[in-house]
Chain A
Amino acid sequence: MTAARSFLAGLCALAVVLGSTSCAGGSPSRTVSVLGTWVGDEGNLFVDEVLKPFEKSTGIDVQYEGTRDFSAVLESRVRDGDPPDLALLASPGQLQQYAQDGQLVPLDGKTSGIQLDRIRAEYTPAWLHSGLATDAGGIQRQFGVVVRGKRKNVIWYSQAAWGRARLAQPRTWEDLVKVTGDITSSAPLASSGSAWCAGLRDSSSSGWPGTDWIEDIILRDAGADTYRSWYQGTLPWTSPQVQNAWLAWKRIIEVSPAPQTTTGMLLDGIQYGEEEMFHNPPACYLRRIGYLQTSDYQRHAADFGYFDLPPAGGGPQNIEIAGDLLTMFRQSDQAADLVNYLTSVEAQDVWVKPGGAISPNKRVTAYPDETTNSLAQSVNDANLGNVVFDASDAMPLTMRNAFYQAVLEFVAEPDRLPAILKNLDVVRCQAYPEAASLHGCP
């Protein structure tokens, strides 16, 4: 009997040990889910370089998911009642929509845990301004903060290719049309490639690279106030200012022979030019793109050059920016910690170091070269009134999609411009019911 009792005691002891072992390590971990658009190298940079120090120092597990079809994925998650803790919106239009619907947590709330005073001190006002939206009660609040910025309305080129072709840097639109014509008509240059690396195809939003052209021309020729009234829906698409912008772009498009050039534009992806611009001889000489992939930038950082055309009527340079707006869908201490970290100089330094982006935080100094630094400084030094956000991103979704489609229609058949603009005005009247009712809508 002694033996049996001892055996039973041993079994019990084993059970206790096994039980305690299986229970060990069951403490809940702190996680934050983040949804964004960065995939590939951009996604790796965010996860491996930017987030690592945060996770290491706080023990918070950040679960980042990057998708090219960000808008559709976010919309479906919000609809299913399962939004991420944080999302990186690319569009102030989307920010406004979610804020209005009461889906977003305001970052300026007393209990939000966000160090907004510090962010206000460190951020350039223009960047901070782009995160403002009105809530369901009509009160303007800080619902987002830009964490990765882009300077738009600049034209990129290869300094080496440009030097070899002995091309002069354009100072006006006429110069730009002339340079385009020179490349197209010059036998040695045209035999190797075309003037512009211009691909309009991009997954779910083909056409958007063309919107940058129209935005840039309106901003340069008509000024920042006209630009704002246009994307806010009060200036009709059929107005002379907007129509002239399309016609100015048409001059560039029509320099090259159709339909080969336009077919190429419509079927080439936005990546076209990343490498082709740096071949010898290059496949194309000029590229208007709102952002450069980090890996793309790193490959050719020494050879990149850029210029932006001064305003047609003189005066200060107007700057167009775009960026990823960090927003909070579910409030938690760890989500607030991550927002505070991502807006800090420490995180931003890591982020901008490889190149391809600029920081909204004006204390950041870790830019890889003078080119990127000067782009960042151009935003920091500009007056708030001269800095505007990407218009198509700021438009309501239906207006934005119609704009993308209109670009494709225009490139395919430029002579249909009056009908295209008329159609855009029809969409405007539906997309901005309150603003448009005052300006040319039935």
Chain B
Amino acid sequence: MTVELDTHPPASPPSVPAVRLRRFRSPLWIRGFRSAAGTTPGRLRALLAAMLLAILVVCLTGAEAVADLRNTTVTAADRTSPTVIDAALVRVLLADADRVAVQGLLPTAGGQRTTNGPGGAYQDDIKSVEQALERARTTGLTGLPMVQTVNDQMVLYVGDVAQAQAYAAVLAASAGSDSSPGSDSSKTVDLSVVYLSYAAEQLRTSNGALATVEKFRLENRSRLPNRGWGPWPLLVVQLTLGTVLLGLVVGAQLFLRRRFHRRVSLELAGIAAIVVLICGWTTAQSVSTSRALDEGVRETDRVTCLSQARALAALADRDYRYGAHPTLVASTARPPQEGACATATPNYQEHPTAAQAARFLDGQDSAEVSRELRTFLSAPPAANDHDSAYLRVDRSLRQLQENHLPQLTRAWDDALPSRGLEWILIACSVGAAGLTLVAFVPRLREYRKSS
């Protein structure tokens, strides 16, 4: 290999103008760098440093982007999405508990009353609420004091239902025989009904448990990634630096060919291939994860909206039963103001109009289920079909929910970046750095020997 040493001094300065201007004097280290960079070894060293720095930045931004993708996916899949789904489930369970309590404790139209109370379904609902709240407390990212508030409200709710049950039991036991001599039953009020109303208040006022848990859900929902989220700023930096690095590789190849007559440097070709691989892989992974995250968030919304629909049906069924009680003028439990299922059902209310109900499941899966829900919400079902009408609607909605769960799991699995991708990126970068050194260090040694 023929080596042509370049020991030319830097180009001579331009001629001094007639009027001497006061010249800005660069700092010593800049002047030293300029004079050194003017020589071939200086240029080699500058190229080496610039390429190593670019490789480092490309590597770091790539690793950081992948780590970002992984963290966001893991947080969404393991924490935010389960919290949002659990919060929506708490609404379903509380609404159903209240429905079951009213069904179990109010007398029938014929005035008959059971002494069993709300029974196992109510207990199961309450236990499930406690478990769902505990999970939400563990996984929730924000608004955790609201979980405590819901817990406190639930304690009061359970206390009121227990009181209703106690009075219902007394009334059931004394049915047919007046236990209070001298009392006129037509002038007395059924306290089990009153306590059911108090219990409903714990759930359904504007700051009741249903509204609080909905607020908690919305706060955590806002922590799910926005549509089209990705580590785009990092990718822009990486692709820019990757392009610069490719430019440096081309520049280095031209420089080596001119000064050292090397037609093609295999090391530089390898570096270019690695840079394209790193940038391409990172970009492809980001796009893929971003799409999967969108799908995961969409599925989370679908599942929670179906929960909202189930809660709505349970509350409607409860109100049909409660409102039928002869001594009660109207339910004093007011619907919560904050009941919006944010993205899919902006017009959702606890008691939607028929038009709102029609839109409720728009974009959801089943027109048949939507129709069933709309029919159920628009008017109380016939007396002989009451129990089965609610159960039919709830079963259909639950079935739809269950159909969505595998899609949700798949979306989160798809969103997770390939295992060990960060380490592969780092290994590739180390390889690129090694090839850079192999390309430049022997040339520098040749200069050192000859000098």
Please list the residues of chain A having a beta carbon within 8 angstroms of any beta carbon in chain B: 2-3, 5-6, 39, 67-69, 72-73, 76, 201, 203-204, 206, 258-260, 262-263, 266-269, 405, 408-409, 411-413, 415-416, 419
Contact = CB atoms under 8 A, between A and B. Distances in A.
A203 B177 CA distance: 33
A204 B332 contact: no
**Which of A5, A76, A409, A413 lies at the interface centre, i.e. has the most chain B CB atoms within 10 A of its CB?**
A413
10 contacts: A2-B32, A68-B207, A69-B153, A73-B148, A258-B187, A259-B327, A263-B189, A408-B194, A413-B183, A415-B184
A257 to B, nearest CB: 9
Contacts of A67: 149, 152
Given A267-B194, A415-B188, 8 more contacts: A2-B28, A67-B149, A68-B207, A201-B197, A203-B202, A263-B189, A263-B327, A412-B191
A67 B202 CA distance: 13
Contacts of A413: 180, 183, 188-189
A262 B189 contact: yes
Contacts of B153: 69
A206 B180 contact: no
B186 interface: yes
B430 interface: no
- Of all A-B residue pairs in the complex, the 6 with the closest CB atoms, nearest first, are A6-B29, A258-B187, A415-B183, A412-B189, A3-B33, A413-B188
B250 interface: no
B156 A409 contact: no
Contacts of A267: 194, 197, 332
Chain A interface, >50% SS class: helix
Interface of B: 28-29, 32-33, 36, 148-149, 152-153, 155-156, 163, 180, 182-184, 186-191, 194, 197-198, 201-202, 207, 327-329, 332
A60 B156 CA distance: 35
A266 B195 CA distance: 9
Contact of B194 (A2, A204, A266, A416): A266
B341 to A, nearest CB: 26
Contacts of A201: 197-198, 201, 332
Contacts of A266: 189, 191, 194
A376 B149 CA distance: 35
A79 to B, nearest CB: 13
B328 A419 contact: no
A269 to B, nearest CB: 8
A259 B201 contact: no
A238 to B, nearest CB: 17
A205 to B, nearest CB: 10
A408 B201 contact: no
A3 B194 contact: no
A398 to B, nearest CB: 14
B336 to A, nearest CB: 15
Contacts of B155: 72
Given A2-B29, A259-B188, A267-B194, A204 B149 contact: no
Given A72-B156, A409-B191, A263 B329 contact: yes
B134 to A, nearest CB: 15
B174 to A, nearest CB: 12
B188 A263 contact: no
A268 B331 CA distance: 11
A72 B152 contact: yes
Contact of A203 (B156, B190, B194): B156
A350 B99 CA distance: 47
B443 to A, nearest CB: 19
A76 B149 CA distance: 11
**Which of B36, B198, B328 lies at the interface centre, i.e. has the most chain A CB atoms within 10 A of its CB?**
B198
A204 B36 CA distance: 82
A397 to B, nearest CB: 14
Nearest to B191: A412
Contact of A259 (B29, B156, B186): B186
A419 B188 contact: no
Given A259-B188, A259-B327, A267-B332, A73 B36 contact: no
Nearest to B36: A3
Contacts of B163: 405
A269 B202 CA distance: 13
Contacts of A5: 29
Nearest to B46: A3
Contacts of B327: 259, 263
**Which of B156, B163, B202 lies at the interface centre, i.e. has the most chain A CB atoms within 10 A of its CB?**
B156
Given A201-B332, A413-B183, A259 B189 contact: yes
A259 to B, nearest CB: 5
B194 A259 contact: no
Given A3-B36, A73-B152, A203-B202, A259 B187 contact: yes
A266 B191 CA distance: 9
Contacts of A415: 180, 182-184, 188
A220 to B, nearest CB: 28
A415 B181 CA distance: 9
B201 to A, nearest CB: 7
Given A203-B202, A259-B189, A268 B28 contact: no
Contacts of B184: 415
A419 B183 CA distance: 12
A416 B29 contact: no
Contact of A3 (B32, B197, B201, B329): B32
A245 B202 CA distance: 32
Contacts of B207: 39, 68
A2 B34 CA distance: 11
Given A263-B328, A266-B194, A416 B189 contact: no
A333 to B, nearest CB: 27
A257 B182 CA distance: 18
Contacts of B149: 67, 69
A11 to B, nearest CB: 12
A404 to B, nearest CB: 11
Given A2-B29, A416-B180, A408 B187 contact: no
A148 to B, nearest CB: 22
Contacts of B329: 260, 263
Nearest to B155: A72
